[in-house]
A and B are shown apart, each in its own frame.
Chain A
Amino acid sequence: MSQNFQLVVVSAGTSDPSSTRLLADRVAGRVTTLAGKRSQTVGTSVIELRELASEIANALVSNHIGPKLQKAITTLQHADAIIASTPVYKAGASGLFTSFFQVLDNDLLIAKPVVLAATAGTARHALVVDDQMRGLFAYLRTVVVPTSLFAATEDWQDNGLNKRIDRAALELVALMTSGFEKTVRDESWGSYQHEFGSAGGTELTIDLDSDLMRLAAGGAAS
């Protein structure tokens, strides 16, 4: 049965075109091809964090989510798979990149498959993805594919990068088409922490049969 999957690229690259975006696009292209071989189609949307920079900063300091940021949140909420790509600055992911993921609701990305990618001017930053970025995505309860992508200047002339892109893309396709996210969300959504209105404004379940609800209606605290 053919399915249409939504792939979302999040890029914190700042130049146009940026190598950060280029790396993400290479993965996205490969994901589309590999899915096509399995008779699946993939629609790709791109979130350029550069365009959201001021709204991300506003959200961090005032909790106010602007319309462009809200649109990005809605896009991610409907994503079947995510490619998150950032430049490395001062031995870490771009502050814009981490800020964006820090303002998202904790439960927005639960069980979504993710490819992590980073670019840098030197190979000395190669462990930033595995050492620093994975923790953030673990906190968000995403499934990061085993192969992380990192491209320093010299990697753009090394066929090894292509091989790693192929690997990461296949891993993402395997997770995306496995129904993993759906199974987790269908059967276990309630066992993760939520707030009313979280998950990008979609988590509206109210459990009237909870201890707190009984306390609210004059009962005793347990």
Chain B
Amino acid sequence: MQFGIFSVSDITRDPVSGETPSEAERIDAIVQIAEKAEEVGLDVFAIGEHHNPPFFSSAPTTLLSHIAAKTKKLIVSTATTLITTNDPVRIAEEYAMLQHLAKGRMDLMLGRGNTAPVYPWFGQDIRQSLPLALENYNLLHRLWREDVVDWEGKFRTPLQGFTSTPRPLDDLPPFVWHGSIRTPEIAEQAAFYGDGFFANNIFWPKEHYIRLIKFYRQRYAHYGHGTEKQAIVGLGGQAYIAKRSQDALNEFRPYFNEAPVYGHGPRMEDFMEQTPLSVGSPQEVIDKTLTFREHFGDYQRQMFLMDHAGLPLKTVLNQLDLLGEEVVPVLRKEIEARQDPETAKPPTHAGRVKDKYGDKPARQPRPNANRGDNVTGGSPYQDEK
């Protein structure tokens, strides 16, 4: 099982100090946070995508390639990449490039995005968000698997003889997670392609996620990718940890009370009781996280939201120490002991190369000399006739 952190990339005033970090400070901080994640033994770092203040992450592949260059083992990912307002051709190109630079230590999670004005800013219509997401991904899926794509759809200008470059590393498309809160069509698409399904598991009571994950598992099996237990599921969560639970409650409360989205709303204790939020000692966070697999079945990736709501960098780094040293090692051991043996392994580039090629060498596409177009003649690559 993989453990990691995901960041929304919010730049929020610290309610305790009253300070709001600058964009420059917060961007420096996120790189340190990602490096720290690797240092404390976490597997994954993921960043969101936004196109409005107070968020900084508008260009996730730029940030993630920098982080990949500064780390050795960490998988970089997104939470989420907007499959609606990004051109799927640009997603294909940018993330394939990231995959090469990160030597396969990357994947991505697709989401529709719920900031209404982003759609018109990028020339899209939020009322078409779902068909747009589904069609865009159908195209993205082909762009990474077919050297030359002819395509015509409803939303994007048609493609004739288009080759998305670079081809994916080892000719193996990046692993894709589909994030959704309550949309069966997204779960269906994840299942149809045998991709991963991610439930952010933060805002709503768990019953909402249980239903959709169950549906995804059934459809994953229906499409012949494996059994329901072998479907690839990721979950979010959020935690604030201190050695003593009372300290955790006291320290986190001012941040909870003013957090974007749920701040100025429910009492923290009620929210802890009714949602996956854990605020407490390492053991309390462990106990609560261990209940997730009982509700959702065994899963492959657990992500924690740790750096939001104005928490200062020093606190976040300290949180990561506690998460990496006191929480995750116990979770790894406990989950390994309890996990159904049928459970799929979490997706890694090396593992997926092995699944695709066995002991044979992976395909390494070499282009032919430029002939001016891709439309006439055969493949632009030497090994394809």
Known A-B contacts A61-B264, A64-B203, A215-B135; the reply to A196 vs B183 at CB < 8 A is: yes
Tell me the minimal C-beta distance from B88 to chain A in angstroms: 13
Contact B186 A216 (CB under 8 A): yes
B356 at the A interface (CB under 8 A):
no
A58 at the B interface (CB under 8 A):
yes
Residues from chain B with a CB closer than 8 A to the CB of A63 are 203-204
Tell me the minimal C-beta distance from B184 to chain A in angstroms: 5
Residues from chain B with a CB closer than 8 A to the CB of A193 are none
A157 at the B interface (CB under 8 A):
no
Contact A197 B211 (CB under 8 A): yes
Q: Which of A61, A64, A206, A216 contacts B134 (CB under 8 A)?
A: A216
B55 at the A interface (CB under 8 A):
no
B266 at the A interface (CB under 8 A):
yes
Known A-B contacts A61-B264, A62-B266, A197-B211; the reply to A218 vs B192 at CB < 8 A is: yes
The answer for the CA separation of A61 and B262 in the assembled complex, in Å, is: 7
Q: List 18 A-B contacts (CB under 8 A).
A: A57-B265, A64-B262, A64-B265, A64-B266, A66-B266, A195-B182, A196-B183, A201-B208, A206-B184, A211-B131, A213-B185, A215-B138, A215-B185, A216-B188, A216-B189, A217-B189, A220-B135, A221-B134
Residues from chain A with a CB closer than 8 A to the CB of B141 are 218
B130-150 contact mask (Cβ, 8 Å, vs A): 1 or 0: 110011001001000000000
Interface residues, chain B, with chain A CB atoms under 8 Å away? 130-131, 134-135, 138, 141, 153-155, 182-186, 188-189, 192-193, 203-205, 207-208, 211-212, 215, 261-266, 270-271, 274-275
Contact B211 A216 (CB under 8 A): no
The answer for the CA separation of A206 and B131 in the assembled complex, in Å, is: 16
A204 at the B interface (CB under 8 A):
yes
Contact A58 B265 (CB under 8 A): yes
The residue in B130, B153, B207, B265 that gathers the most chain A C-beta atoms within 10 A of its C-beta is B265
Tell me the minimal C-beta distance from A64 to chain B in angstroms: 5
Chain A 196-222 interface residues, beta-carbon cutoff 8 Å to B: 196-197, 201, 204, 206, 208, 211-213, 215-221
Contact B274 A67 (CB under 8 A): yes
The answer for the CA separation of A64 and B189 in the assembled complex, in Å, is: 27
Tell me the minimal C-beta distance from A105 to chain B in angstroms: 11
A53 at the B interface (CB under 8 A):
no
The residue in B130, B184, B189, B261 that gathers the most chain A C-beta atoms within 10 A of its C-beta is B184
Tell me the minimal C-beta distance from B105 to chain A in angstroms: 29
Contact A204 B131 (CB under 8 A): no
The answer for the CA separation of A67 and B192 in the assembled complex, in Å, is: 36
Q: Which of B154, B205, B208, B261 contacts A62 (CB under 8 A)?
A: B261
A65 at the B interface (CB under 8 A):
yes
